A and B are shown apart, each in its own frame.
Chain A
Amino acid sequence: MKTGFRKARLNINTIQYVGLALVILAIAFGFQAAFGNVMTTANLRVMAMNMVFEGIMALGMTFVIIMGGIDLSVASVFAFGEILVAKLMVQAGLPVPVAVVLTLITCAGIGALNGVMIVMLRVHPLIITLGTLLTLRGINLAITDGKSISGFSEGFLWLGQGRIFGVDFPIIFFSVTALILGLLLAHHRYFRQLYFIGGSERAARFSGVNVSRVKISIYVLSSTLAGCAGIMAAAKYGAAHWGHGNASELKAIASVAIGGADIMGGSGTIFGTVLGVIFLAVVHNAFVTSAVNTFWYDVVNGVMLLLAVLISRFIARQNTQKLKALRQSKLDQSQHYQTSKGGKP
């Protein structure tokens, strides 16, 4: 009997998100009940600011991973963005907007270079972006002599320390960017192509998708977002230093994977990544709140990452089996049709 409306089907990804959200809530409320001081305004603000820069990098990383790539260079681009904007303002004396724009253009250029090398040389993005990570780290050290740069104007510091309606500007930047990119990824044709490329790059290419152009543009997006995060971090800390953001590429990748994206490409959402970012922030905060040795923080993150990868691989296998079953049933139907018409199967 038809009821007149579609039966609600719980998507397996939705279940994964609900599970992750429940875990986050359980940790937050559990530690609030046990230790207090978790749900205070001050702690929630600190918790958000603790992961906001990695979160911004994770947004770009989501696009890269859906496309089947990886971008290890974001941590170095992050520090490079800090240092370049600081040098342009403090040493070259450029006004804040000019320094910021030039820095973002340079970071975008680094992303373009990553993309072009990946496309032209046909080398795995892991190797190319690892090379960029190491090269830029060396450059960051060399151009600063290992020292930090400080002495920024109040106008620049607002980018990291300013608040709008009581909310820190970097958190607003992260939220608005996540919303815009999430909508684009879900609805815009250009970004929907990423799922196609991540599922099968060859098939996408044969279908007329300009894979090279899409790839380069996504690495540009990833580096630009890392540059944005670096600029805001310099403003937040009032200093640019080569050591800032060390290993943040791993946190960004972990956020995306914990958020349910398939690390092999073809699946993932901005919403899932945001959940992954919140999970890492809440777990780290829980360790500080409970005064448990933070060495265990990496253990929990690692286990959660493995769990997330296992679940996403399980989902991918389920989808493959469904696809095979569907294909088989189509074949069976076709054979049945031909048999019933008296033809040879």
Chain B
Amino acid sequence: MMKLGTRLAAVTVAVSTLLGSASYAQDTQEHYGMVVFLKGSEFFNWSYAGFQDAAATVGATTELQGPADWDASAEARAVDQLVAKGVKGIAVTAGDADTLAGSINAAMAAGVPTLTFDSDSPNSDRLLFVGTNNYNAGFAAGKAIGEEHGDEARVGVSLIPGLDSITSRLEGFKAGLASVAPGAQIVATVNDEGDLQKAETVNTAMLQANPEINVIFCAHGNPATGALSATRNVGRMEGANKISVLAWSLDVPILQGIEDGEYGATVAQNPYMMGVMSFWMLWSAAHPTQFDSLTSPGMGQVPTADLDTGVKILRQGDPAVQALMSPPKI
């Protein structure tokens, strides 16, 4: 048994030494960290790919940290660890805005430029937020529906009530729709609770109660598949009475559905660009020029406003659909 312990220790030292030789070269390079929740998800893989690609252009290295589940406290710990490790900058997507605030503040106080991307922590001292402006994205979606269906658009909305991001999207959607089709109407909204099966149930009920609906607007990533099933349930997935489902997702099954003509369109955020711009903002903050940042003295210049990475409404035949159907692997 004693031998077993000694051998284990010896093996560990040997592995450490091997890893050490690999790491020596990295010591001279700048190193940046990205922290996410739901690590391994396609969306954040896109973001990290952008972060990596941008870093590679200046010879910097990166690492991705964070839990594989939705635990913001584990993200906070990851931020703390990266600060202790001495990274040059951290981009974090906040699984919960309040939980991350303390760690982000501590990182900034320690002189490590830290920003939020995709999900913000607005009450923290973060440099800035890089991501989709939900109102603008909703506006683009509403405008697209208005342009396609005109004043005849009768829209049902599938959402989770109470979330700031979704409320902003809906406000933008209404404004965008009204800007090109003042006669169009939002007929009903349903709470899908972020659950696919629930989305099918409540959307089916909505379509049965409101047969005039010809568009379903999915205001977040989860309900699109359920909404599509609901159109099938009421016999309006095809034909002259077909209901157009507007998804809010980049997932491959949704993109495939766009290509197959099942979905009308999808609102595509740009997670890759979130990663790219996050890196450049951090790099800029970590390399002060003759004038410091207006908001974070001692750090380099970054915009004082949040950075909107925009959306694109993807329809059948758009070459971007094919490009997005090969998500990066981490």
- Residue numbers of A with Cβ under 8 A of B are 10, 12, 15-16, 18-20, 22-23, 25-27, 29-31, 33-37, 40, 42-43, 45-46, 49-50, 145, 147-150, 161, 233, 236-239, 241, 243-247, 285, 288-295, 311
Q: Is B8 an interface position by the 8 A CB rule?
A: yes
Q: Please indicate the chain A residues that have their CB under 8 angstroms from the CB of B330 in the complex.
A: 293
Asked if residues B99 and A239 are in contact (CB atoms below 8 Å), the reply is yes
Residues on B with C-beta less than 8 A from A150 are 98, 101
CB of B19 within 8 Å of the partner chain: yes
| Pairwise interchain contact B67-A246, C-beta atoms closer than 8 A | yes
Contacts of A236 in B (CB 8 A): 102
A45 to B85 Cα, complex, angstroms: 12
Contact A46 B81 (CB under 8 A): yes
Contact call B16/A15, Cβ cutoff below 8 A: no
Which listed residue (A19, A50, A233, A237) contacts B81, Cβ 8 A?
Answer: A50
The binding surface of chain B is classed by DSSP as helix
Instruction: Name the 3 nearest CB pairs between A and B, nearest first.
Output: A19-B5, A34-B20, A30-B16
Instruction: Determine the chain B residues whose CB is within 8 A of the CB of A18 once the complex forms.
Output: 2, 5
Q: How far is the CB of A109 from chain B (nearest CB, A)?
A: 24
Residues B98 and A23 in contact, CB atoms below 8 Å apart: no
Main secondary structure of the interface of A (DSSP, over half): helix
Write out the residue numbers on chain A whose beta carbons fall within 8 Å of the beta carbon of B8.
19, 22-23, 26
- Of B13, B68, B69, B77, the residue contacting A50 (CB under 8 A) is B77
Kindly name the residue among B2, B21, B96 whose own CB sees the greatest number of chain A CB atoms within 10 A: B96
B89 to chain A, nearest CB (A): 15
A247 to B63: give the CA distance in the assembly, Å. 24
Extra contacts besides A237-B99, A241-B99, A244-B99 (16): CB < 8 Å: A22-B9, A23-B9, A27-B12, A30-B16, A37-B86, A42-B83, A43-B81, A43-B85, A46-B77, A148-B98, A237-B98, A239-B98, A239-B101, A245-B73, A288-B78, A291-B63
B326: interface (CB < 8 Å): no
B72 touches which of A25, A30, A31, A244 (Cβ 8 Å):
A244
Q: Which B residues are within 8 Å of any A CB, using their own CB?
A: 1-2, 4-6, 8-10, 12-13, 15-17, 19-21, 23, 26-27, 31, 39-40, 61, 63-74, 76-78, 80-86, 95-99, 101-102, 162, 330
B279 to chain A, nearest CB (A): 16
**Is B80's CB under 8 angstroms from A49's CB?**
yes
Query: In the complex, what residues of A have CB within 8 A of residue B69's CB?
Result: 243, 246-247
Interface centre among B4, B9, B82 (most CB of A within 10 A): B9
> What is the chain A residue whose CB lies nearest that of B123?
A150
Instruction: Give CA–CA (A270, B244) in the complex, Å.
Output: 61
Give the one of A16, A149, A239 with max B CB within 10 A: A239
Q: Are A26 and B77 in contact, with the CB atoms below 8 A?
A: no
Q: Does the CB pair A246–B70 fall under 8 Å?
A: yes
Cβ–Cβ contact A26 & B98, under 8 A: no
- The residue on A at minimum CB distance from B160 is A146
